[in-house]
């Protein structure tokens, strides 16, 4: 950066380390167990919380629901009616436990990104969405194969009904690549990139605002720092929306994949 511009851009004068990919490399919690890092801790805690939530909700089923039972039933019916029944159709009950587990796991782990004690969404480390997407990939392919057999499923999934024969060489590879290979990649990358970009956005506003406010002399920069810190609260609000939306979309797409894998030819 040339000397003229460095006065105008205070963050380039040195000393400020911009957030980047390295911000997501957290050290392990204990030196002796290298695989147990903050992401792992958050995932384990989220599983315990989700189990406790659903067990407590399911324990006392009163005819006239109490407040806590009402919350649990609303969450349950949201996944059951809005996601499972609308997407899969009449045979949706078999897949309901999977969808509810996926939805609560992704939602709680996304929301770790705005929870004050953690402030790091678990899926912002790409291994976690990969694991979830592999699980979903195995399940929807397994559903299709167990219903139609291997060749029946491959034929169903890579050849839509009613395609004329001269289009087959074009359609079959396209559909195969799109349904078998691209689906798990986009499913995991969508969740990962939303969490990654959202967390990066928060880091830019908070760290940049902190640097402008505390480490620069001019009053204009300090004002900009205060504005940036205030706007970061709005970014947190946006993040809550994006995190809930991504949990919803992840579950909806899982249901959609299962439904298209088990759909009859028509």
3-state secondary structure at position 97: helix
- The site string for another protein over 191-230 (x = CB under 8 A, - otherwise) reads -xxx-xx---------------------------------
Stretch touching another protein by CB under 8 A, among 35-43, 72-80, 97-105, 246-254: 246-254
Give the nearer residue to another protein in terms of CB position, either 135 or 200.
200
Task: Report the b/e string of 3-41 with b at 16+ CB within 10 A.
Answer: eeeeeeebbeeeeeeebeeebbeeeeeeeeeeeebbbbb
* Beta carbons within 8 Å of 262's beta carbon, 6+ residues apart: 88, 91, 143, 144, 147
Give me the least distance between CB of 82 and another protein, in Å please: 8
DSSP for 204-256 reads HHHHHHHHHHHS---HHHHHHHHHHHHHHHHHHHHHHHHHHHHHHHHHHHHHH
2 binds another protein (CB under 8 A): yes
Binder among 43, 50, 84, 87 for another protein (CB under 8 A)? 87
21 binds another protein (CB under 8 A): yes
Number of residues that bind another protein (CB under 8 A): 20
Give the nearer residue to another protein in terms of CB position, either 80 or 190.
190
Binding site for another protein (CB under 8 A): 1-2, 5, 21, 82, 86-87, 186, 189-190, 192-194, 196-197, 248-249, 252-253, 256
């Amino acid at each position: 950066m040339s000397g003229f511009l460095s006065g105008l851009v205070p963050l380039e004068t040195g000393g400020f380390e911009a957030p980047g990919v390295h911000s997501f490399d957290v050290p392990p919690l204990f030196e002796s167990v290298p695989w147990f890092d903050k992401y792992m801790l958050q995932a384990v805690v989220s599983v315990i919380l989700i189990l406790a939530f659903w067990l407590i909700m399911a324990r006392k089923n009163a005819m006239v629901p109490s407040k806590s039972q009402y919350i649990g039933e609303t969450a349950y019916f949201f996944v059951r009616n809005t996601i499972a029944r609308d997407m899969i159709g009449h045979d949706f009950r078999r897949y309901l436990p999977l969808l509810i587990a996926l939805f609560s796991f992704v939602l709680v782990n996304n929301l770790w990104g705005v929870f004050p004690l953690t402030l790091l969404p678990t899926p912002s480390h790409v291994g976690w969405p990969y694991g979830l997407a592999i699980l979903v990939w195995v399940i929807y392919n397994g559903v299709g194969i167990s219903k139609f057999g291997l060749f029946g499923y491959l034929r169903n999934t890579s050849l839509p009904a009613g395609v004329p024969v001269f289009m087959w060489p074009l359609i079959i590879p396209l559909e195969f690549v799109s349904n078998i290979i691209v689906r798990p990649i986009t499913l995991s990358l969508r969740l990962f990139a939303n969490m990654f970009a959202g967390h990066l956005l928060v880091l830019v506003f908070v760290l940049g605002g902190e640097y402008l406010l505390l480490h620069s002399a001019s009053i204009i920069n300090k004002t900009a720092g205060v504005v940036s810190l205030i706007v970061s609260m709005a970014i947190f609000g946006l993040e809550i929306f994006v995190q809930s939306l991504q949990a919803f979309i992840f579950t909806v797409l899982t249901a959609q994949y299962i439904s298209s894998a088990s759909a009859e030819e028509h």
